[in-house]
Amino acid sequence: MGTGHDALIDADLERLTAVVELIFFAYRDFTGEADAVLKEFDFGRAHHRVLHFVTWRPGLRVADLLEILKITKQSLARVLKQLVDRGFILQEAGEADRRERRLYPTVAGRKLAEQLRALQTGRIAGALGEIEPHAQAAALQFLLALTTSGNRCAIEQSLANAGVSLPTPAKALRREQTKTV
């Protein structure tokens, strides 16, 4: 060890380590504002996630929510029940299959979801505004590439549905390139 070659690798590692920390700080701050609002309602981040997906994908089933959030039925049940009991979400039996509980936001639920969304989309819009316009899609591509490939398709799908178009990943073409940061 300790060769010139290692020194190069070590410098990369240090940069990447700083990025690990950057991701931690970015996520914590990104959710911070919304967390503060939720606290006023005696809700937590778990409520936020459920309310978010129900509001922006109205008619979602419990099973869909479990698949998206990747938590257990019991974990979901607690927060969902609180959201229903306190009038932020309502459940309706499915038309075709009456075993299903289709979930919808109430007026209050939609209002809260919009308030929380405004905080987060505002922060994202501001952050995108700080980078070069032609790099904006790349920044999102980077986030997508951080996800596990098994989950990627569904996420790409929902991005595409929302009108977000991402460049095709350059991937293996530049495989030899070492300057990663």
User: Quick one: which segment of 4-12, 17-25, 76-84, 162-170 binds DNA (CB under 7 A)?
Assistant: 76-84
- Region of 70 (left: φ > 0; alpha: ψ -120 to 50; beta: rest) is left
Using an 8 Å Cβ cutoff, are 36 and 43 in contact? no
Find the binder of a second copy among 6, 24, 36, 78 (CB under 8 A).
24
Size of the site for a second copy (CB under 8 A): 72
Strand 60-61 to 89-93 pairing: unpaired
88 binds DNA (CB under 7 A): no
Nearer to DNA, 21 or 132 (CB): 21
151 binds DNA (CB under 7 A): no
Find the binder of DNA among 7, 32, 78, 115 (CB under 7 A).
78
Residue with the two structure tokens 């609002």: 37
When CB distances are held under 5 to 8 angstroms depending on the partner's kind, the choice from a second copy, DNA, none that residue 56 binds is a second copy
When CB distances are held under 5 to 8 angstroms depending on the partner's kind, the choice from a second copy, DNA, none that residue 128 binds is a second copy
User: Quick one: which segment of 99-107, 134-142, 147-155, 157-165 binds DNA (CB under 7 A)?
Assistant: 99-107
- Side-chain half-sphere exposure of 19, counting CA atoms within 13 A: 11
66 binds a second copy (CB under 8 A): no
In which order are the strands placed within the sheet that holds 101-105?
60-61, 101-105, 89-93
71 binds DNA (CB under 7 A): yes
47 binds DNA (CB under 7 A): yes
Min dist CB 93 to a second copy, Å, is 27
Min dist CB 104 to DNA, Å, is 13
49 binds a second copy (CB under 8 A): yes
127 binds a second copy (CB under 8 A): yes
Q: At 104, which helix (H) or strand (E)?
A: strand 101-105
Show the DSSP H helices in the chain as ranges. 4-40, 45-56, 62-69, 73-85, 107-129, 136-146, 149-161
Using an 8 Å Cβ cutoff, are 33 and 76 in contact? no
